[in-house]
Amino acid sequence: MPTVLVTGSNRGIGLEFCRQYAEAGWKVLACCRRPEQASNLRGLATEWPSVSIHQLEVENFDQIDALAHALASEPIDVLINNAGVYGGSSQNILGTLDYDLWARVLKINTQAPVKMTEAFLPHVLRSQRKLVLAITSLMGSMGDNSSGGAILYRTSKAALNAAMKSIAIDLKPRGIGVLILHPGWVKTDMGGSNAPTSPAESVAGLRRVIEDFKPGDSGRFLDFRGRELPW
Ligand code: NDP
């Protein structure tokens, strides 16, 4: 049974990843900040015994190390760095920037996925598929940026893309693949109700991209339909 670990799995895209991988027969290590409040995820774990819930606040690097230690015996086929924050809309343009908030957004969106990859490298190395995913955003693309704003979020995802591109190159000799994936504009708390794509459609597309992965794809920046995106 292949194993997937998902951060930010209590709602939105992360919850949908857990649902679809559980239905597909995978073992799911579902990480979230507050398991006691994660009623949808707990419902899923009741329905599917292959889903286990693990407390993890990704900005707490000691917690990441402790969880990696606690799960030491688990090979992880696909490590999904999904947890993320937008960082507010009013503190995101010149004149209103909140620099402490910016540092926190960078820690959650950029540093935490790198730290997760570092801490869980032994687990991924011991698996069959050996894949690390960064759920990024097209908003991290400079080539695509025609509307400005969102400085906190854009910089955090652009830096995530740069870090994951390097990690893809660095881990290639060890047989680990890295994909930098944009889920589309998705109807979640972050994406809002006007988003055109449902979490089910986005995650089904992302799972196809993951299934189609070939070693030559490592380090590519793709959307949920498998289309190449501009850096
Ligand atoms: P949501 O806001 O719906 O969910 C965010 C998830 O991240 C929640 O589970 C949240 O947990 C978790 N999270 C936030 N901060 C932390 C933290 N410090 N530690 C642990 N977990 C944390 O967002 P989406 O599902 O829409 O987004 C998922 C990913 O997709 C993000 O990386 C986002 O940037 C990316 N994305 C989303 C798009 C969209 O249109 N929705 C578009 C492009 C990219 P909690 O409930 O505890 O806050």
**What residue segments make up the domains of the chain, in order of their start?**
3-223
Instruction: Tell me which of 85, 139, 224 to substitute to probe ligand 1's pocket, judged by most ligand atoms within 8 Å of the beta carbon.
Output: 85
36 DSSP assignment: G
Place of tokens 């398991």: 35
Provide residues with CB under 6 Å of ligand 1.
7-8, 10-14, 32-34, 57-59, 82-85, 108, 135, 137, 182-183, 185-186, 188-191, 195
How far is it, in rounded angstroms, from Cα 124 to Cα 131? 7
pLDDT tens sequence across 154-171: 999 999 999 999 999 999
Query: What's the pLDDT band for 90 if we cut at 50, 70, 90?
Result: confident
* Index of the ligand 1 atom closest to the CA of residue 139: 43
Name 81's Cβ contacts closer than 8 Å, sequence gap at least 6. Answer: 7, 112, 113, 116, 117, 132, 133, 134, 135
User: Helix/strand/coil (H, E, C) string of 166-190?
Assistant: HHHHHHHHHCCEEEEEECCCECCCC
The 10s digit of each residue's pLDDT in 66-80 is 999 999 999 999 999
Handedness of CA 177, 180, 182, 183 (dihedral sign): positive
pLDDT at residue number 88: 86
What is the pTM assigned to this prediction?
A: 0.98
Six-digit token string for 119: 């801490």
At 93, is the pLDDT very low, low, confident or very high (cuts 50, 70, 90)? Answer: confident
Dist. CA 190 → ligand 1 center (Å): 7
Q: Which of 142, 140, 226, 184 is nearest to 16 (CA)?
A: 184
**Ligand 1 centre and the CA of 107: distance in Å?**
14
133 in Cβ contact with 181 (< 8 Å) = yes
Domain covering 3-223 in this structure, CATH number: 3.40.50.720
Q: Which residues contact 162 (CB under 8 A, 6 or more apart)?
A: none
Q: Cα(173) to centroid of ligand 1, in Å?
A: 31
Where residue 178 falls (left for φ over 0; alpha for ψ -120 to 50; beta otherwise) is beta
Closest residue by CA, ligand 1 atom 4: 12
Residues forming beta bridges with residue 4, ordered by sequence position: 28, 78
d(CA 102, CA 154): 11
CA distance 145 to 152: 14
Ligand 1 atom 44: residue of nearest CA: 137
Ligand 1 mutation pick, 39, 164, 190, max ligand atoms within 8 A of CB? 190
Reported as a single tens digit per residue, the pLDDT across 103-119 is 999 999 999 999 999 99
Statement: residue 17 has pLDDT above 90: yes
